[in-house]
Structure 1
């Protein structure tokens, strides 16, 4: 038996020891693996629950529904709004704590209504060491069970287990909520969330795999994976994305030449992000990448 197989069995046996579990389910690879393990261990006594709010793209909700169907697990969707919380809207460096507290609170309430005692999430063994993660404090405070963390299942092993279960999300890139696209200190509003969602939907339509559109108060900073940068500079895409994003309400459209980076507007990189945004707005360094592409014959 391999190490991954041993961890899989340990996590499944752990879940089997509960009368029933509700999995906080985003449809990403981590929560999908927990849902698959829970369904494997408990059958009809396992429930996946997705919290729908302004920070969850509609496409992600549809993906979650599809993956739950793949697994065969019962799927519940509950609705709430983080924007009702002033602490969340303020968008300080504890935003993820406020968000996770509300989201998991919805999970706990749904579990009580269903008569389920245990709520699980997809925190894996790599998460605690992956930078500023205030959301993990909410997991601890609310006593959410994290079977992947409990049995030392790391991200690469999560993907192996997803492949074992034949899940379509085994290679799916990580996807944080839409509020992560708004720099710390800039208020989270429905307008900003909506235009980011629509902007990222456009990049998805163009076939990009790993990307973010950061909203620096009307300046759109597009990040794509380094191996996709060349495609992002193609004239047809440049002209289309500039026109479409300006139509969504962005004043400037930029391409970040560093490529996609997780947490590039999180607290530890806040100052750098602000400097990047100011440079892009005031100088031709990045903002004119898209404009320059249409002047290559000059």
Structure 2
């Protein structure tokens, strides 16, 4: 029987005494965590970095999926807002963020005497436009098994289904700072109101969405299949009332719908 990509990753991981998985609870890192746990058991650790840019709902999801996998789950805390380079929000913001986040992972791995840090970068990621965070992955010598073995995003979801992971169809999520246009400072106030606004959209039943913060103007993006719901006058009134109350001067709906990186460089 031919060896699958998942089998090849298991063979690699089996050669390590232990691994720490940079774990967001998204489908990519969940697949890596599931394979690592399947291979190493207690010697595999999923680690989530908690900061102002991580929505509490995503942290809760990470806890739940780690429990579902059965992998040991630990949380480290840090603040990207301690970095002036990150706060300035230039074209390298994701590089600064990923460097700090993975640095926290390496520090924690060292404290646990774990030799390897791995992440969920997949083979589709390098081709998805401006991705400065990938430079941090390369510079820090993070082991990216999905990328190493050419596993595309669709293949990742297939492996997730094989492991019966509840996140197999979960939409991609980026950190809250990705909602702030390049060149506009990342502040705790902006991150907080974005998180609260997106929490409302989640409560109202939307699945794929972003709230972009254009210095006081909330620009709502929703997936194409949900756009008709967002055009409902009742939703428009609720969005203006409740999202406007969070500190936004104006609330708008983007008729082009959800687009990744719509406030970042191409």
Equivalent residue, structure 2, for 1:210: 208
Aligned counterparts of 1:137 and 1:154: Cα–Cα separation in 2: 19
Match in the other structure for 1:283? none
What is the alpha-carbon distance in structure 1 between the residues aligned to residue 265 and residue 122 of structure 2? Answer: 22
* 1:151 pairs with 2:149: yes
* Alpha-carbon distance in structure 2 between the residues aligned to 1:227 and 1:44: 41
Q: Secondary structure at the match of 2:4?
A: helix
Of Structure 1 and Structure 2, the greater helix share is in 1
Instruction: Look up the match of 1:172.
Output: 170
Does 1:69 find its partner at 2:67?
Answer: yes
Q: Deviations over 1:54-99 (max 9, x none)?
A: 0000000000000000000000001100000000000000000000
Instruction: With the length of structure 2 as denominator, give the TM-score of the two structures.
Output: 0.99
- C-alpha separation between the residues in 2 aligned to 1:127 and 1:266? 16
Q: Please state how far the C-alpha of 1:267 moved relative to its aligned partner.
A: 1.4
Alignment of 1:116 onto 2:111: no
Query: Tell me, what secondary structure is at the counterpart of 1:88?
Result: helix
The 3-state SS of whatever aligns with 2:122 is coil
Residue aligned with 1:47, SS: strand
Partner residue of 2:264? 266
The residue that corresponds to 1:163 in the other structure is 161
Partner of 1:38: 36
**Whole-Å Cα distance in 2 between the matches of residues 153 and 40 of structure 1?**
18
Among candidates 226, 229, 236, match of residue 227 of structure 2 = 229
2-structure distance, mates of 1:260, 1:176 = 13
* Per-residue deviation, residues 200-221 of structure 1 (Å, max 9, x unmatched): 0000011111100000000000
Match of 1:60 among 55, 58, 61: 58
SS at match of 2:117: strand
Match of 2:195 among 197, 202, 219: 197
The alpha-carbon deviation at position 237 of structure 1 amounts to 1.2
Tell me, in whole angstroms, the C-alpha distance in 1 between the residues paired with 2:224 and 2:166. 24
Q: For the residues of structure 2 that align with 1:98 and 1:81, how far apart are their CA atoms? A: 12
CA–CA separation in structure 2 for the residues paired with 1:204 and 1:186: 25
* Corresponding residue for residue 14 of structure 1: 12
C-alpha distance in structure 2 between counterparts of 1:130 and 1:261, whole Å: 12
Inter-partner Cα distance in structure 2 for 1:27 and 1:89: 25
For residues 102-126 of structure 1, give each alpha carbon's deviation from its aligned partner in whole angstroms, at most 9, with x where no partner exists: 0000000000000000000000000
Residues 237-266 of structure 1, C-alpha deviations (whole Å, 9 max, x = no match): 111111011100000100000000001011
May I ask how many residue pairs the two structures share in their alignment? 266
SS of equivalent to 1:267: coil
Displacement, 1:235?
A: 2.0
Identify unmatched segments of 5+ residues in structure 1: 269-298
Superposition RMSD in Å: 0.8
Cα distance in 2 for partners of 1:14, 1:130 equals: 26
Matched, 1:80 2:96: no
> Which has the higher Rg, Structure 1 or Structure 2?
1
